[in-house]
């Protein structure tokens, strides 16, 4: 698109949001009357736990008032209870929590508070990764520093390996495990090393934990963790009801972390117009207090992975199944010479929408992401189409 003189350089240089491109492809297929199997956007259409909608209806009021930006007492209590039951994180003076309108806005606005802190102006983030880490850094006037994640070290972001001047200037580092799009996870030793590095370098760790409750149903120990389990000092974690409770449309989550950051950032957030409506807070409070509906959702994703992974492995597109999140990160067949866009557009013409790695990354080519969003029945049909498509190219 031609640059507009009515907006600044940051807005002019933004790439179209990848999900908007996928929506265009979907609309075209639908307009042509073709069946569409959409594995593009990570927004599973699984019916909500009915209690959530019932709570919503019961919470509507005749008089509407501004909500508290931080969240109601009831919601804050449910959040602390969740943190304790899931992670054994206890309430204490060095920890603070606040409601957010989902992770996206919280991720975006966090950059505004760290850019330039203590004379540091670099924000480090994973690539491939959630696009808002980069865009928010740019809007905040910070230096956006992507780190290419590699399969060889399990897609770990290791800031201690970066050039010294980048480490010194790092105001914050984003991490996201379980990771979108690769499904990668990290263990305790990684968290401890990252925290140790952040303390030595005086860098804030922003941990995007929106997939922390989405893991394979049969995992009983070594569940994904948040770095807050290991330290509160300079650690801030972002949680969301979007994936764990399927509440993408409600826009609800919370931040938890180092009270020194949280209290100061709360003053900034009071200016941003992002208070969560009270009827949404009431639903959120119920959602954080219940773990059974989350276990049900995990079963759905686990059975979708069990269905899709063996077929993708047989096609030579994957080597091991993800233990967490609901994405399959697949190689494109060798005959495409790493051209993920060509592969995905060809597949989309046959009605199966996936995300090419170059839309999710500055650096990674030759992969595509399948969000396990469609039903098992539709996934079977789509895998048949994918199998024929791959076999024809060999």
Closer residue to ligand PLP, CB minimum distance, 42 or 374:
42
Closer residue to ligand PLP, CB minimum distance, 59 or 248:
248
Q: Could you give the strand order of the β-sheet that contains 253-258, starting from the edge strand earlier in sequence? A: 95-100, 253-258, 235-240, 204-208, 170-175, 122-127, 143-148
Spatial neighbors of 362 by CB under 8 A, at least 6 apart, are 127, 146, 148
Least Å from the CB of residue 40 to ligand PLP? 11
Q: Does 126 bind ligand PLP (CB under 6 A)?
A: no
Q: Which one of residues 18, 44, 253, 257 is an interface residue with ligand PLP (CB under 6 A)?
A: 253
Q: Which one of residues 240, 302, 355, 357 is an interface residue with ligand PLP (CB under 6 A)?
A: 240
* Concatenated DSSP letters of 288-349: HH--HHHHHHHHHHHHHHHHHHHHHHHTTS-SS--SBSSEEEEEPPGGGTT-HHHHHHHHHH
Least Å from the CB of residue 198 to ligand PLP? 20
Closer residue to ligand PLP, CB minimum distance, 167 or 182:
182
Length of the chain (residues) = 394
Closer residue to ligand PLP, CB minimum distance, 120 or 304:
304
Q: Does 364 bind ligand PLP (CB under 6 A)?
A: no
How big is the site for ligand PLP, counted in residues (CB under 6 A)? 14
Closer residue to ligand PLP, CB minimum distance, 124 or 390:
124
Q: Does 355 bind ligand PLP (CB under 6 A)?
A: no
Q: Does 248 bind ligand PLP (CB under 6 A)?
A: yes
Cα of first residue to Cα of last residue in the chain, in angstroms, is 37
Pairing of the two strands 253-258 and 95-100: antiparallel
List residues bridging with 173 in a β-sheet.
124, 205
CA distance linking residue 293 with residue 309, whole number of Å = 24
Closer residue to ligand PLP, CB minimum distance, 126 or 315:
126
Element (H, E) at 275: none
Least Å from the CB of residue 214 to ligand PLP? 11
Helix/strand/coil for 244: helix
Which residues 179-208 are close enough to bind ligand PLP by CB under 6 A?
180, 208
Q: Which one of residues 130, 155, 288, 343 is an interface residue with ligand PLP (CB under 6 A)?
A: 130
Least Å from the CB of residue 170 to ligand PLP? 20
Question: What b/e readout covers 150-163, taking b as 16+ CB neighbours within 10 angstroms?
Answer: eeeeebbbebeebe
Which residues 101-120 are close enough to bind ligand PLP by CB under 6 A?
102-104, 107
CA distance linking residue 194 with residue 388, whole number of Å = 44
Query: Which is nearest to 362 in space by CA: 162, 129, 36, 176?
Result: 129
Least Å from the CB of residue 101 to ligand PLP? 8
Q: Does 304 bind ligand PLP (CB under 6 A)?
A: no
Is 360 within 8 Å of 369 (Cβ atoms)?
yes
Which window, 96-104, 163-171, 183-191, 333-341, contacts ligand PLP (CB under 6 A)? 96-104
Closer residue to ligand PLP, CB minimum distance, 239 or 261:
239
Least Å from the CB of residue 109 to ligand PLP? 12
List residues bridging with 101 in a β-sheet.
none
Helix/strand/coil for 148: strand
Which residues 30-59 are close enough to bind ligand PLP by CB under 6 A?
42
Q: Does 210 bind ligand PLP (CB under 6 A)?
A: yes
Q: Does 302 bind ligand PLP (CB under 6 A)?
A: no
Instruction: Count the neighbouring beta carbons within 10 Å of the beta carbon of residue 394.
Output: 9
Query: Which is nearest to 257 in space by CA: 265, 268, 249?
Result: 265
Least Å from the CB of residue 104 to ligand PLP? 3
Residues of this chain that bind ligand PLP (CB under 6 A) = 42, 102-104, 107, 130, 176, 180, 208, 210, 240, 242, 248, 253
């Amino acid at each position: 698109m031609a640059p507009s003189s009515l907006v600044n350089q940051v807005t002019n240089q933004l790439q179209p949001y990848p999900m908007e491109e996928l929506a265009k492809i979907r609309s075209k297929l639908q307009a042509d009357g073709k069946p569409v199997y959409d594995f593009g956007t990570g927004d599973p259409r699984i019916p909500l736990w009915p209690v959530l909608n019932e709570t919503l209806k019961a919470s509507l009021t005749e008089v509407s008032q501004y909500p508290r930006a931080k969240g109601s007492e009831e919601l804050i209590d449910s959040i602390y209870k969740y943190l304790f039951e899931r992670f054994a994180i206890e309430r204490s003076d060095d920890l603070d929590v606040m409601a957010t309108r989902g992770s996206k806005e919280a991720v975006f606005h966090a950059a505004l508070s760290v850019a330039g802190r203590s004379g540091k102006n670099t924000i480090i983030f994973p690539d491939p990764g959630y696009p808002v880490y980069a865009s928010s850094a740019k809007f905040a006037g910070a230096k956006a520093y992507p780190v290419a994640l590699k399969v060889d070290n399990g897609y770990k972001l290791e800031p201690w390996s970066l050039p010294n001047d980048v480490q010194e200037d790092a105001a914050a580092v984003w991490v996201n495990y379980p990771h979108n799009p690769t499904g990668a996870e990290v263990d305790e030793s990684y968290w401890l090393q990252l925290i140790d590095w952040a303390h030595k370098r005086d860098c804030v760790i922003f941990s995007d934990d929106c997939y922390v409750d989405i893991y394979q149903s049969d995992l009983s120990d070594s569940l994904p963790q948040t770095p807050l389990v290991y330290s509160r000092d300079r650690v801030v974690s972002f949680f969301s009801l979007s994936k764990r409770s399927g509440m993408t449309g409600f826009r609800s989550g919370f931040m938890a972390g180092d009270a020194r950051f949280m209290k100061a950032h709360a003053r900034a957030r009071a200016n941003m117009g992002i208070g969560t409506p009270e009827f949404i807070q009431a639903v959120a409070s119920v959602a954080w207090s219940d773990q059974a509906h989350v276990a049900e959702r995990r079963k759905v994703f686990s059975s979708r992975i069990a269905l899709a992974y063996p077929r993708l492995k047989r096609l030579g597109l994957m080597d091991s199944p993800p233990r967490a999140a609901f994405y399959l990160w697949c190689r494109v067949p060798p005959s495409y010479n790493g051209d993920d866009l060509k592969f995905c557009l060809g597949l989309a013409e046959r009605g199966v929408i996936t995300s090419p790695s170059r839309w999710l990354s500055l650096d990674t080519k030759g992969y595509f992401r399948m969000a396990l969003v469609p039903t098992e029945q539709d996934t079977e049909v789509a895998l048949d189409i994918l199998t024929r498509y791959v076999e024809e190219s060999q």
